[in-house]
Amino acid sequence: MYAFVTGPLAWLTFIIFFAGMTYRAVWYFRGLNWQLDRVAYKEHMAYGIKGALRSIFFWLIPFGTHSWRFYPFFTICFFAFHIGLLFTPFFIYGHNILLQERFGFSLWSMSDGAADFMTCMVLVAALFIILRRNALPEVRIITKPYDYLVIAIAVAPFVTGLLARHQVGNYNFWLITHILSGELFIVAIPLTKLSHFIGFFLSRAQIGMDYGIKRGGMKSKGLSW
């Protein structure tokens, strides 16, 4: 079972991930229309790229935008959740052993204590994000069971990984469950709301280009709108 989930099933998982992400990106760019968006992307590319990079940069910095500063506690939880979600899997010792076995290379590995801390950080942040969805009326009204399912898919590899590492109960069961939940998470990225993994950069770039070209970025130089 271990050989199957870390071999053929893993390859299928990554094929779906990369194919799905490519489709998402192509579909997004093909959907842009300067006549509808009223932004001449190609004709004013230099201004657009400057605006896009500026938008992405400040939204990647905690408290870098007015929106991040408006809800400081949520901002801390949001960044803690995403930093742990993105970086922890790459630098866990067990994952790097698997990389070495399958592909002949490995990355720097964090200590077991640091891995536990990052995992707990993800779980605590996820808990507060869920509580926020229930506490704030403006968020609760747009929250559906689907949103909780997406969060569960994202945190499942961390829960199962923690149980496997500390050998709570049957180690082999939790190990296989951890691998399967991780592969489910990867497959779910292009197929669910988790696609904001790439969608964030695409949408922020578009909005940044919009503002960089049309909404004062060029000081209305030669543009009819």
Token output for 132: 């926020």
User: What pTM was computed for the model?
Assistant: 0.84
How confident is the model over 109-154, as pLDDT tens digits?
888 889 999 999 999 999 999 999 888 888 889 888 999 999 999 9
Residue 11 has pLDDT above 60, yes or no: yes
Residue keyed to tokens 């489910």? 184
- Other CB atoms within a 10 A radius of the CB of residue 83 amount to 15
The whole-number pLDDT of residue 221 equals 53
Cα–Cα separations (whole angstroms), residue 152 to 36, 148, 159, 218 = 37, 6, 10, 44
> Three-class SS of residue 59?
helix
Mean pLDDT of the chain: 86
Provide the pLDDT confidence category of residue 163 given band limits of 50, 70 and 90.
very high
Residue keyed to tokens 């149980």? 163
Q: What is the mean pLDDT of residues 190-204?
A: 91
- Other CB atoms within a 10 A radius of the CB of residue 54 amount to 15
CA–CA gap between residue 26 and residue 20 (Å, rounded): 10
Q: Helices marked H in the chain — which ranges?
A: 2-6, 8-30, 34-37, 45-59, 66-70, 72-87, 93-103, 112-135, 137-140, 145-165, 171-191, 196-213
Q: Residues 211, 217: contact at Cβ < 8 Å?
A: yes
Collect contacts of 69-78 with beta carbons under 8 A, ≥24 apart.
73/128, 74/128, 74/129, 74/132, 77/125, 77/128, 77/129, 77/132, 78/125, 78/129
Provide the pLDDT confidence category of residue 192 given band limits of 50, 70 and 90.
very high
Is CATH 1.10.1070 the classification given to domain 2-213?
no
Residue 169 has pLDDT above 50, yes or no: yes
The whole-number pLDDT of residue 224 equals 46
